[in-house]
Amino acid sequence: MSIGAIFLMSIFMLTMLIDLPIVYGMMLSGLLYLAVFDAAPVAVAAQQYVAGMDSFTLLAIPLFILAAQLMNGAGLTQRIVRLCAAIVGDIKGGLAVVAVMSCLLFGALSGSGVADVVAIGSLLIPAMTRAGYDKGFTCALVGCSGTTATIVPPSIVLIIYGTTTNTSVGKLFMAGIVPAVLLSAALIGIAIWLSRKHNWSGGRPFEWAELRAALVDAVPALMVPVIIIGGIRFGIFTASEAASSAIVYSLLIGIFWYRTLSLRLIWQSLKGAGEGSASILLMIGASGFFAWILVAEQVPQALASLLANWTDSRNAVLVLLTVVLLLLGTFMEAIPIIIIVAPVVMPVLAIYNIDPVHFGILLTINMAIGAVSPPVGVDLMAACRVGGITMMQTWRPLTWMMLAMVGVLLLVTFVPDLVMFLPRRVQ
């Protein structure tokens, strides 16, 4: 690795140690690199910052965020929770199962882990606490379950990965479905086991009449992922067009079907989408500038050469990359990791014949695990804020849940057909 690359990474790590926001850390380390090594005019920083955001596919991010805001304002969250509760009934740990299922279904609407955690957690964490569930368990479960939103379509993280690596977002969306379901199933298994161990109760007894009523009420909400996935699967929409369709659909059902969307809620949704999109796009621009310097310093080639000299095993490389990503995920957020790491490892994937779609899902699952790993753990932190507890109070149940998530990660790593089965059917 060159002296310039070592300097860049050293400054960046220093900014992390002093707890400077990541977006400023990337910009500061990049600008100091340009100044010290006179590698390019400072104006290049602005050019690369803008170039990092210059992609039509990225338009899907603010559109999906707005669609999620509108759906939440229209009351779709409550209807999804009601449907899941009607399906599960009063089995031991039933409310915990409802939390996992609700996070998976709402994740297919929002595409954001934090939004998933806050929306579902605000409804279920107080309800589970009143039912006698331990708050540490409840917050850990909602935090872990919310991470499925980063894997299931329309995941914002997958959109960013696809844009950064020129990988089909449609195929990534299809590839994320099975791993997200497996992750939810693993968390449900842990939730039921711990609930029975501690004798935590379920919800109301199962009733066919309630299930029918909840299903009819939730059908418009359940149609959103059908529109998104089906439209992309059959070539009707691009990711951005699917997001636009989701906005129009959300407005129609919110105003004319449920009649819950007012002008005030629409305005709040627009403000929330603007704020959320701005923070993401600022980070994407800074990450693009940072990644440009890494590529200019030939870090990807150096990494590919190092790994080629170390091993010729595809599985060994995947395990090594997984370990690195897990470590990065404990102290960095998903977006800068993806934009910095993805261009660096693409030459490695080509050497070892690793499909970028398969690796994209593995990377995303790693980021999901990182989102509940202290000290950063943004999804876990959001759940703890909703529950009013510290992250340390979640540690014991969180350990079991993270082991289950790592188990799913290893399964899809060594059985790639679980990931690639659906995207192979996307033309």
Compute the distance between CA of residue 164 and CA of residue 292 in angstroms, rounded to an integer. 11
CA 8 to chain centre: 27
311: DSSP letter: -
151: DSSP letter: T
> Does residue 395 have a pLDDT over 60?
yes
What pLDDT is recorded for position 203? 67
Helix spans in 153-207 (H): 156-165, 169-198
144: DSSP letter: H
What pLDDT is recorded for position 39? 72
Residue 106's closest CA among 155, 139, 61, 63?
155
Bigger pLDDT: 308 vs 245: 245
Q: What confidence tens digit (pLDDT) does each residue in 37-61 have? A: 877 777 888 888 887 777 777 777 8
Sorting pLDDT into bands at 50, 70 and 90, what band is 408?
A: very high
What pLDDT is recorded for position 308? 66
Sorting pLDDT into bands at 50, 70 and 90, what band is 202?
A: low
Q: pTM here?
A: 0.83
What pLDDT is recorded for position 313? 80
3-state helix, strand, coil in the chain (%, to 5): 80, 0, 20
Q: What percent of the chain has pLDDT over 70?
A: 96
Q: What confidence tens digit (pLDDT) does each residue in 317-366 have? A: 888 888 888 887 777 778 888 877 888 888 888 888 889 999 999 999 99
Q: Is the CB of residue 86 less than 8 Å from the CB of residue 73?
A: no
Q: Report DSSP letters for 251-266, one per residue.
A: HHIIIIIS----HHHH
Q: Is the CB of residue 329 less than 8 Å from the CB of residue 369?
A: yes
Q: What confidence tens digit (pLDDT) does each residue in 227-270 have? A: 877 777 777 777 778 888 888 888 888 888 888 888 888 898 88
**To which H or E segment does residue 287 belong?**
helix 263-296
